[in-house]
Amino acid sequence: MSSPAVAAVILAAGGSTRFGAPKQLLPWQGRPLIAHVADTAWMAGLSPIVVVVGAEAEQVTPALAGRDVLVLRNYRWHEGMSVSLSLGVAALPSSVEAAVFLPVDQPLVDVRFLRSLVAYWQQRNAGIVIPVGREGQRGTPVLFARRFFAELAQLSGDIGGRVLFAQYPDERATMPVADPDILTDVDTPAAYEALLARQGMSLEWDALKGVICDMDGVLWRGETPLPGLHDFFALLETRRIPYVLATNNASKTPEQYVNKLAGMGIVTNTEHVLNSATAAADYLATQAAPGAPVYPIGGPGIREALRSHGFTLTEGDHADYVVVGWDRDLTWRKLATATLLIRNGAGFIAANPDRTFPMEDGLVPGNGAQVAALITATDVTPVMAGKPGPLLYERALARMGVAPEATLVIGDRLDTDILGGLRLGMPTALVLSGITQADELPASPIHPDVVFDDLAALVQAWQGRLQKSHDSPA
């Protein structure tokens, strides 16, 4: 089942009269506040993202440069919020089933909050979802289902969508918010200064009950173990923390990964290993007839995963599906065969979108590079089985039996490992030993919870937190 299409409408047209300066441009985590809110909506998977600007639009709009957002200019912003609501709703395509309306001045609203808001709506099929603090105070952002879009567009003045709360009591659902500070807005400079104390990277180490860890660029680079490898597994064993090693690399089988770790002195088994080849084969099993002919591009990982699901591997004379994983022996002939099959109607599935792959001597083309060649040659966009899509992580969570909010994702790529974790509501830790480098972080719309130079630094921080907890009085 596909996820519902939920949009974001960011309300950023106000004149900030109480604050005395454009709140949209206040610095937050190294970027303007309006960019931070847009990034948060994007990381949460909301789409499309509509930003309504008004006062100081000439200054505010450039702060959104390079982001996949639709910026609308509200020339009547002084007439009240209703004009911005009308503009935002009118811009939403018919495919959108609901929209989250976000004020631009709530910097503590994060990805997990937005994902929870959407999940609450899905579970209750409510027309309106309103966050409520412990004392019963209503707050924003608020989610409205499509059936209310027409009425939102007809509001007038500065009352906003709250007028509909009283009109439709049976359509409302109130979502409890444990931390009421999340709903705090920046009304005054004093409020802004108070909220600044909450910004920055943090992680609740004591709450972690499981780990999903990438391998290439985290545990090793090529055939070389990376610092912290042995201490990491020792920590997991000592704390009895379940783990899954989840990789987008589809070139190897789980058994081969187990053997590679054994060669580095780490004992594990295939129950702790998942790759995007397995995710691709799992997905295909829900789409194809049993034993369907499949043309694979990739190494043993892809082939073994498809065989284990009962598919018939072909040499390209005929196939119902083409499945593409990273192939170190890729040739023009393989690309040509795949192109002809896809152009003749075969389904197109890619194990992962990783554009590059980390080796000892640097970055080399990854599966995303060869998939890009096929997209160019066929004009067909494939189904992506690996990260940042949810399937791989969902299977890992099911294996461990741990809730997403208690599972730490460790990875070296912002656009796959970290983004995938954020979109499932998991805490995330980026290590800089693989793909992503420190100088990329300030400009990225993807914000991990914590960043470490490598796995060794992460283990040191985790052990330090455990020691502090042990030493603190009961």
Active site (catalytic) residues:
214, 216
In angstroms, the CA 221 to CA 357 distance is 9
Contact between residue 231 and residue 194 where contact means Cβ atoms under 8 Å apart: no
CA dihedral sign of residues 59, 62, 68, 70: positive
In angstroms, the CA 385 to CA 277 distance is 8
Which residues, at least 6 apart from 391, have a Cβ–Cβ distance to it below 8 Å?
A: 279, 282, 283, 385
Full 3-state SS string of 113-148? HHHHHHHHHHHHCCCEEEEECCCCCECCCEEEEHHH
In angstroms, the CA 413 to CA 211 distance is 16
Please tell me what DSSP assigns to residue 435: S
Closest C-alpha among 259, 185, 175 to residue 33: 185
User: Phi and psi at residue 187, in whole multiples of 5°?
Assistant: -85, -30
Closest C-alpha among 117, 112, 137 to residue 128: 117
Measured from the Cβ of residue 318, the count of other Cβ atoms closer than 10 Å reads 12
Contact between residue 155 and residue 85 where contact means Cβ atoms under 8 Å apart: yes
Measured from the Cβ of residue 204, the count of other Cβ atoms closer than 10 Å reads 12
Contact between residue 8 and residue 102 where contact means Cβ atoms under 8 Å apart: yes
Q: What angle do CA 444, 445, 446 make, to 5 degrees?
A: 90
- Tokens at 179, concatenated: 């931390």
Residue carrying the six token digits 């610092």:
227
Measured from the Cβ of residue 440, the count of other Cβ atoms closer than 10 Å reads 12
Listed as own residue / partner, the contacts of 447-450 with beta carbons closer than 8 Å and 24 or more positions apart are: 447/29, 447/39, 447/40, 447/43, 448/201, 448/414, 448/418, 448/422, 449/201, 449/202, 449/203, 450/201, 450/202, 450/203
